[in-house]
Amino acid sequence: MMALQKALSLLLLVLLTLLGLGLVQPSYGQNRMYQRFLQQHVDPGVTGGDDNYCNLMMQRRRMTRFHCKQFNTFIHEDIWNIRSICSTTNIQCKNGKMNCHEGVVSVTDCRDIGSSRAPNCRYRARASTRRVVIACEGNPAVPVHFDR
């Protein structure tokens, strides 16, 4: 019985430590939005892309299945660097909410050239290091929307 109490105490301590370090997953709704943010906007293995990069990634990430998404930004930073933006000062989002945060990151902006049709969409790439604004939610706060 004493061994079981020690094991439960240790388990509780580990859980509280993970919670304190911010390693516990966000709630289901936030987790779904966080996963969508990762799928649409995060590609840490690249430093910047060209037109072929955009054409391939937009298709791979399923943003050209039914229509050509007009504009998308891929962030080329480690997810922990992106998540750290959520701890900066709150600023106003385009929708008026105050849950946005800004940071400077390496990105590739992909803009639809306008004359292609889904699923074979064609994009013009622009790689740069620039200021981005992301919306964050939860405790711990995680990115859930690319604002600008």
Joined together, the tokens standing for residue 9 give 């105490």
Which has more confidence, 89 or 45?
89
Which residues are bridge partners to 72 per DSSP? Answer: 110
Locate the domains of the chain by residue range.
Answer: 29-146
Share the mean pLDDT of the chain.
85
Q: Name the strand (E) or helix (H) holding 103.
A: strand 100-112
Cβ atoms of 134 and 86 closer than 8 Å: yes
CATH superfamily entry for domain 29-146: Ribonuclease A-like domain (3.10.130.10)
Residues 53-107: tens digit of each pLDDT? 999 999 999 999 999 999 999 999 999 999 999 999 999 999 999 999 999 999 9
Answer yes or no: are the C-beta atoms of 77 and 107 closer than 8 Å: no
Active site amino acids: 41, 145
- Other beta carbons within 10 Å of 110: 24
Query: pTM, whole model, 2 decimals?
Result: 0.77
